[in-house]
Structure 1
Amino acid sequence: MTAVRVSSAVMTHPVRRDQAEALATRLGLGGLAMDPDPNGAPSALRTALVAWSAVSDTATHHLVVQDDVAAPPELLGLVAGSASRFPEDALIFYTNWHARNGAAARLAALAGAGWVRAVPEEFAPTLAICLPADMATGFRRFARDSAERHDDEVMAMFLRQVGRAGLLSVPNVVEHIGTSSINGHASQGVRRAVCPVGAADARPLLCHGWVLEELDWLPYMRYGEGYLRMAGQEKAADPRHHARWQEALPATGLTEGQVRDVARRNCPPDTASEVARHFGAPFAEELWIHCLLLGRQAEDAARRHAPQAAGIRAETDQARVRLRGAAVSTVALAGLPPERRPGVLPEHAELLTAYAWSAIRCGSLLLGPALVRRG
C-alpha cells in the first residue's frame, strides 16, 4: 500500500490573513490560499480553486481548511490516519449541527459509528475536507467554469457526479468559530460542529469505528420544527424538499398515533413544561418527538449495522459514550431558530439536553417488537 502523504492549504481572505496565518502555524498546515479577487463579489469557490491547486507533487491527498475554524495540533495526523484507512474517499472532518448531514452524524454517533456516508443532495461541508490528489484535480476541472459561488454546493455536485458522497467524520475535532461570514452565511446564526470532541476521543473512533453506509429515513430539525428525509430522496424531483414528520411518517411504517402514544406515556411533564416556558410549547413538543424518532433510528441502525461488541477496544467504547453525549448536547440548540441560539444560558442547555435524552431513550419503544407488546 502506498504511504499516505497529505499536503494542505488554508482558504482565506486578506481581511483574515493574520487569523489564517496563526491557524496554519498552530496546526502545521501548508500555505495560505488567498482570495484572488478580494474586492470582487463574495465567492468561496474562487478561493477554493486556489486551495485545491496547492496539492504538492508528492502528496497522495490534500486537505483544505477554512480560516474560521479551531482544531487540535493533532489534526494532520488524524487526517493522514483516516486517509490511510479510506484512501479513495472524500473525508469531511466538520459537519454543521443544523444540517441534514449534521442529523446523519448525530444519528451515527448514537448508533456507535465512527463514520457515516453523507446525504447526497445536501451541500458537502468544506470547512475541513480531504480529497485524494487525483480527486482534487478532478474537482478543479469540474468547478473552474462554474457560476456558483458556494464551494460546498459545487463539491456536492462533483461528488454526485463521481457517484460517491463523502464520508463524514462522526467525531468532530474541527469547530467553526464566530458567526461572521464573508460568503453570506451570517443569517444562519451560531453554527457549530454537531459532535464536538477532543483528539483523544476522536482517534480510536476514526481509526477503528465502524461506518454507517446505509441511511434509512432520517429525522432532522430546522427552525424549531421536525422533518424526515426518506431513503433515496436524492432521486426525487425536488430532492431538497423538507417534509414535515407528520407528512412523511406513513412511508416509514409508523403512524402518528403510535408516535404520540409513546410521547403521551413517556414525555416527562415537568421537564416538558419547563422547556415550554423558556422556548414555547410547540418547540418542546417538536423537540421531544424529533428525539424520539432519532433514538428509534439510532437503535435500529445499531441493531442492523453495528459489528458485534466482541473485540471492541475499551478506549473506543469509552470514546463512544462521550461522543453520544456530545451529539445530544447540540440537538436542541441546533433545532432552535437561529435568532434564539445566542440567548440560551448554560442551565437552559442542560435542561434541553436532559429533555432530549428522555426522548432518545424511548426510541426503542417504536421498534417492531416493542410496538406489538405495547399494542
Structure 2
Amino acid sequence: MPKPHVSSAVMTHPVRLAQAQDLADRLRLDGLALDPDPQGPPSALRTALVAWSAVRPGAGHHLVVQDDVDAPAELLEIVGRSAVRFPDEALVFYTNWHARNGAAARLAALAGASWVRAVPDEFTPSLALCLPVASAAAFRAYARDSAERHDDELLSAFFRGRGRMSLLAVPNIVEHIGTTSINDHAAQGIRLAVCPTSAADAAPLLDRGRVLEEPGWIPYMRYGEGFVRLVGQENGADGGRGHHPWRDALPATGLTEEAVRAARLPRHLAAEVARTFGDAFAEELWIHCLLLGHQAARAARSLGPLPDGVPPDALDRLRHSAVATAGPAGLPPERRPEAGPDEARAMTALAWAAVRAGGTLGQAFPTGRATVSMDAESSPDGSRPRGSS
C-alpha cells in the first residue's frame, strides 16, 4: 500500500510548550504551532489557523493534534494508511466519550464497524484530525475572518457547507490527558476517548474494517440522563442542538415505552450501580444501553459480511472498550472521579446486560465468521476503562 506524505503539527500555548515539544518528539511530528496571541482571550481557532498553515511542501495530507493528548509511536503510520484508504475524507482519530459523536462511535463499535460518519449537529472532535491539503487550505480560507473561537464548531460548519461530515475512527488510538482547558472546557470534567484501543488492534480495523455511513437514531447520555439524537434533527430551527429525552423520542424510533419496560431490569446489577450513583442513574444507564443495543443490532444488519483481514477478536475487544466507557461517560462531570475500579465494573456489568437485552428487541448481533462474546460480567482483560477515576 503506498504511503502519502502526511505533514503534521501540534497546536499549543506557551504554558504547555514543554508538554507539546515532548509530544512532537515522541511521535516524530513535524513541529509546533504556537498561539500567536497567548495573552489574548482564549481561542482555539487562532492557534488552529497557524496549525493548518503548517503544511510541508509535497504533503498530500496534514495532521493536526492538540498538545493535551497521548498516542502510540505508530500514530503517523496508522494515519498515513487511513489517508490512503480515504484520500478525500476528513479523518478524526479521537472522539469524546460523552458527546453525540462519541455515542455514534460506541454504537458503530457494537455494530461491528471501524469507521462512522460524524453527525452534522455537533462539533467536530479536533484533538487529532487529518485533512487533505486542499481541504486544509479551504478551511483556512473559510475560517480566516470568523469571530468564532472554537475550531471544532467551525470545522463542523465548514463540513456541513460542503455536504460531507468527517469520518470518525471508531477505535481510538489517541487519548485526551488532563482535565484543565485553555479554552474554558474544564467544566466538562474528565473527558476521554470513547473506544480506547491498542495500535495493534486499531491498525487492521482501520485498514480494512467496515464503514457505518448512517447509524440512524443514536442514544446518548448527558449529565446522568438518557437522550436520543434523531435522524434529521439538524434541520430543526435550533440546528439540531437541542436534546430529546428518550421518552419523548421513542415514537420516532419505532419503539414504545411498554416495549422498553418489558426488558426486565436486573435488580442485583442495578443495585451495585445505585449504591454509589443512585437508583435514577442506574435506571437511565440501563435504558440508554438497552436502546444502544437495539439500535446497534439494527445497524449491524446494514454492514454486510466481515471483510477478510479484520480480526474478529480485535472487534470483540473494541466492543468491550465501547461498553466500558458508557457508564463513566454518562455520569455528570462532577461525579466521574467517583468511578473507581469497583464502580466501573458495576456500571460495565449493567451496561452489558442492557446491550444484550436490547439486541433481543430486534435481532441478535451477526457475528460474521466467528462468535462474538457478549459476556456482561467481564471485560477481556478485566481492566477498568482508562481515566475512570
For the criterion TM > 0.5, the same-fold answer is: yes
SS of the residue corresponding to residue 124 of structure 1 reads coil
In 1, are the aligned partners of 2:108 and 2:215 still within 8 Å (CA)? no
SS of the residue corresponding to residue 49 of structure 1 reads helix
Q: 1:352 aligns with which of 347, 355, 360?
A: 347
**1:337-356: CA deviations, max 9, x gaps?**
00000121111101110110
TM-aligned CA deviation for residue 2 of structure 1? 8.1
Whichever residue aligns with residue 180 of structure 2, its letter is S
Q: 1:321 aligns with which of 307, 312, 316?
A: 316
Q: 1:331 aligns with which of 323, 326, 330?
A: 326
TM-aligned CA deviation for residue 103 of structure 1? 0.1
2:243 aligns with 242
Pairs within 5 Å for 1:114-125: 114-125=114-125
| Pairing 1:287–2:247 present | no
Looking at structure 1, the residues matched to 361 and 313 of structure 2 have their Cα atoms a distance apart, in angstroms, of 27
TM-aligned CA deviation for residue 364 of structure 1? 2.2
1:67 aligns with 67
2:261 aligns with 260
Distance 1:38 1:88, change over 3 A: same
Alignment length (residue pairs): 363
Looking at structure 2, the residues matched to 320 and 85 of structure 1 have their Cα atoms a distance apart, in angstroms, of 19
Looking at structure 2, the residues matched to 274 and 172 of structure 1 have their Cα atoms a distance apart, in angstroms, of 29
| Pairing 1:306–2:310 present | no
Whichever residue aligns with residue 292 of structure 2, its letter is L
Looking at structure 1, the residues matched to 291 and 253 of structure 2 have their Cα atoms a distance apart, in angstroms, of 11
Runs of 4+ more than 3 Å apart:
none
Looking at structure 2, the residues matched to 368 and 21 of structure 1 have their Cα atoms a distance apart, in angstroms, of 50
Looking at structure 2, the residues matched to 19 and 45 of structure 1 have their Cα atoms a distance apart, in angstroms, of 20
TM-aligned CA deviation for residue 3 of structure 1? 5.3
**1:315-357: CA deviations, max 9, x gaps?**
5211101101110110000000000001211111011101100
TM-aligned CA deviation for residue 133 of structure 1? 0.2
* RMSD across aligned positions (CA): 1.3
SS of the residue corresponding to residue 11 of structure 2 reads strand
Looking at structure 1, the residues matched to 178 and 72 of structure 2 have their Cα atoms a distance apart, in angstroms, of 17
Looking at structure 1, the residues matched to 244 and 134 of structure 2 have their Cα atoms a distance apart, in angstroms, of 37
Whichever residue aligns with residue 305 of structure 2, its letter is Q
In 2, are the aligned partners of 1:5 and 1:80 still within 8 Å (CA)? yes
Looking at structure 2, the residues matched to 258 and 306 of structure 1 have their Cα atoms a distance apart, in angstroms, of 26
Whichever residue aligns with residue 53 of structure 2, its letter is S
Whichever residue aligns with residue 276 of structure 2, its letter is H
SS of the residue corresponding to residue 325 of structure 2 reads helix
Looking at structure 2, the residues matched to 143 and 247 of structure 1 have their Cα atoms a distance apart, in angstroms, of 37
Pairs within 5 Å for 1:1-375: 4-238=4-238, 239-262=240-263, 265=264, 267-303=265-301, 305-309=302-306, 312-313=308-309, 316-367=311-362
Structure 2 length-normalised TM: 0.91
Whichever residue aligns with residue 282 of structure 2, its letter is A
Whichever residue aligns with residue 193 of structure 1, its letter is A
Using the TM superposition, name which of 109-118 and 272-281 deviates more: 272-281
Looking at structure 1, the residues matched to 140 and 2 of structure 2 have their Cα atoms a distance apart, in angstroms, of 24
Identity of aligned residues (%): 64
Looking at structure 1, the residues matched to 326 and 148 of structure 2 have their Cα atoms a distance apart, in angstroms, of 30
Whichever residue aligns with residue 149 of structure 2, its letter is R
**1:233-273: CA deviations, max 9, x gaps?**
111112111000000101111111110111xx3x2111111
Looking at structure 1, the residues matched to 338 and 358 of structure 2 have their Cα atoms a distance apart, in angstroms, of 29
Whichever residue aligns with residue 360 of structure 2, its letter is L
In 2, are the aligned partners of 1:209 and 1:316 still within 8 Å (CA)? no
Stretches of structure 2 that go unaligned for 5 or more consecutive residues are: 365-389
**1:140-177: CA deviations, max 9, x gaps?**
00001011111100111111111100000000000000
